[in-house]
Structure 1
Amino acid sequence: MDNAFKVEVRAAWLERVVVNGTDLVSAPEPLKNDRSFLLEAVQRTKASWLLKLCSEELQEDAELAKEVDELAGTGLIFTYYENFDCFQHMRKFFMATGASVPGGEAYDEVMEVLEETDGGSATVWFGDTPVFGFAANNGEWIHPPYECGRDYKPVPAANSEREPMWHSDVESRKGSFTPEAESRHPCWCCHWLREVRKKHEEGAVIGCAISNIYYPSWVDKYGAASSELSDAAAEEFGLRKEQFRNGRPENWGKGMIRVSRRGQSWQFSREAPVHPHTRKPLGEGCRWERQALDGMGFAVYAFFMP
């Protein structure tokens, strides 16, 4: 194999990996053991998990792993956002955890799919136990991306000196109520943040879904939809605009998105539909999760589909 052909093959495989990182599994062994190829691919994609698809020799190189993490950076990364099956394949090849999945009627089936694969999900569920949520004080206080101090702590008596985070009902699947002074309740957000960090420490790649459309048919079957919020919609509904440290895909929350898979493609609305009861765009909790994930000290990979 002459040098010109090697360069051509290398360039072709690099472009394949930029389109779908999991294609690296099928690359020639010399490329999967090529340090410079990996670093260029990570620089182009910010996908530190590409290292997990390389040779054992590269995977065991601690200095290389550090360099790869530095190239990837932190916060939400949208490189493969419009790819239909990238996250699905990631879960087949290594431990990848779904840390944020929009709710709705499709939620249970999405969770079933996630739990069948390595990494599962980072969702926490309290069932009938009343918990604090991500917002308080009529939406003026939003849970930070770190422990807030409410988790199982005595609720202070209601007065003007009480911190805004305590001005909140607690909720369960049975309903909601105002907690009594000195009562103790879990903070769902604190538990979720711990679970996400625990999964990352265990070696999982953290993923974030922006819709609950696992299959295109779910749009009609479950009313599955996007949770993207455009700036215009945020202003209309008095919500916080979605901004991320690495930017966000063009036309966020507007028009249609084309999601591709091996020569096939589907179009979905990018706009979060308005919930008939709350009269706000779907995905309020997911949008809080996205902001929290964007503030993590490691890379989190965002996909339109789970």
Structure 2
Amino acid sequence: MEMRNDPDIVLAAVMENGRTMEFASNALLNDRSFVLRAVQSTKATWLLNYCSRELQDDKEFQELVEQAAGTGLVFTCYHSFSCFDSVRNRFVATGASVPGGTAYDHVMTQLNKTSGGTATVWFDEIPVFGFSANKGEWVHPSEDCGRDYVPVPLQENRHEMWNSMVESRNTRLWPPVGSKHPCWCCHWLRKVKQKHAEGAVICIAVSNIYNKDWVDKYGAGSSELSDEAADKFGLKREQFRNGRPAGWGTGKIQISNGMTFSRVAPVHPHTGLPLGEGCRWERQALDSLEFPVFVFFMP
């Protein structure tokens, strides 16, 4: 009982795995100063879900918690599989980004079993605009871009964002002048923001490894991109508001369940680029939003 009531011991445990907050004493879970200290240290707004009902219902305190957490991608519990599993099963937590590939559908099945589900959008056979244009020189911003269902203008003097093909599951074409197409990025960003406004904790995964055998079975792997790999492939280096975990994109990572995985993004056989090209754009977009987004290695 003494350990459960010791703020330093509890905070150290929460820094390793946020779910341990639920084992703190009732006194600490009703202690405003301790809760704010825990949120400031972890940037995890969702710690409030483990606290007393009095604190959860206090609107002014909720605002203090939001201010204490700040914004951007949060890696506090990055290495913990059990933390993400607990978060999405304990309260509403939405998966907003997971690397694609053969394992993608299997990950989505797992995430959609839980309360918050996923914040993905799918247009199937409808051709859509993607996250880059003009041979990669234009990249979609963290807000609406202006292409969504807007007639494609004449080529003369038009914005570079229009210099892009549109793609569906089975189609890839240059959009004719005057045609209208959805922008996948705009719809995805709106859905993420909608989920957050509804009270969901927004989470992302940097690998599509859900079980260890998925590495061999589906080619699942990391989408971390080291600075060295970025330079080698002519890609933008990954930088985030709150920094990134040591060893990003290099070596191995040990997850809380004892499993160890490579952090090097494998090269995609079709694109010739490291796994997770779209996810890297999604990470930059999410890092620019005005609320924290919680990052885990495994979904």
- TM-score, normalization by structure 1: 0.95
Q: How does 1:51-200 map to 2 (within 5 A)?
A: 51-159=48-156, 161-200=157-196
- Name the counterpart of 1:18: 15
Q: Which amino acid aligns with 2:67?
A: E
CA distance in 1 between partners of 2:210 and 2:139 (Å):
29
2:289 equivalent among 292, 296, 299:
296
CA distance in 1 between partners of 2:214 and 2:85 (Å):
17
Secondary structure at the aligned position of 2:255 is classed as strand
Q: Which amino acid aligns with 1:62?
A: K
Q: Which amino acid aligns with 2:143?
A: Y
CA distance in 2 between partners of 1:9 and 1:73 (Å):
26
Q: Which digits, 9 at most, give the CA deviation of each residue in 1:261-298, with x for residues without a partner?
A: 3xxx1111111111112111111100000000000000
Task: Decide which moves more: 143-152 or 6-15.
Answer: 6-15
Secondary structure at the aligned position of 2:6 is classed as helix
CA RMSD across the alignment:
1.4
Cα deviation, residue 6, structure 1:
7.1
Q: Which digits, 9 at most, give the CA deviation of each residue in 1:68-95, with x for residues without a partner?
A: 1111100001000011121110011110
CA distance in 1 between partners of 2:100 and 2:138 (Å):
22
CA distance in 1 between partners of 2:8 and 2:151 (Å):
60
CA distance in 1 between partners of 2:281 and 2:8 (Å):
39
The change in CA–CA distance for 1:182 and 1:7 in structure 2 (over 3 A counts) is closer
Task: Decide which moves more: 16-25 or 237-246.
Answer: 16-25
Q: Which amino acid aligns with 2:215?
A: V
Secondary structure at the aligned position of 1:108 is classed as helix
Cα deviation, residue 172, structure 1:
0.5
Q: Which amino acid aligns with 2:192?
A: V
Cα deviation, residue 189, structure 1:
0.2
- Name the counterpart of 2:34: 37
CA distance in 2 between partners of 1:166 and 1:192 (Å):
19
Matched, 1:268 2:261: yes
CA distance in 1 between partners of 2:167 and 2:236 (Å):
23
- Please tell me whether the aligned partners of residues 4 and 25 of structure 2 are also in contact (alpha carbons under 8 angstroms): no
- Please tell me whether the aligned partners of residues 4 and 24 of structure 2 are also in contact (alpha carbons under 8 angstroms): no
Over the matched positions of the two proteins, sequence identity in percent amounts to 60
Q: Which digits, 9 at most, give the CA deviation of each residue in 1:5-52, with x for residues without a partner?
A: 579733322222111111222332222222222112112111111001
1:27 equivalent among 18, 24, 29:
24
CA distance in 2 between partners of 1:218 and 1:279 (Å):
21
Q: Which amino acid aligns with 1:281?
A: P
The change in CA–CA distance for 1:40 and 1:231 in structure 2 (over 3 A counts) is same
Cα deviation, residue 158, structure 1:
2.0
Task: Decide which moves more: 116-125 or 15-24.
Answer: 15-24
CA distance in 1 between partners of 2:220 and 2:137 (Å):
29
Secondary structure at the aligned position of 2:229 is classed as helix
Aligned residues: 299
Secondary structure at the aligned position of 1:154 is classed as coil
- Name the counterpart of 2:47: 50
Q: Which amino acid aligns with 1:204?
A: A
Matched, 1:253 2:246: no
Structure 2: any 5+ residue segments left out of the alignment?
none
- TM-score, normalization by structure 2: 0.97
- Name the counterpart of 1:285: 278
Task: Decide which moves more: 19-28 or 67-76.
Answer: 19-28
CA distance in 2 between partners of 1:14 and 1:68 (Å):
16
CA distance in 2 between partners of 1:91 and 1:64 (Å):
23
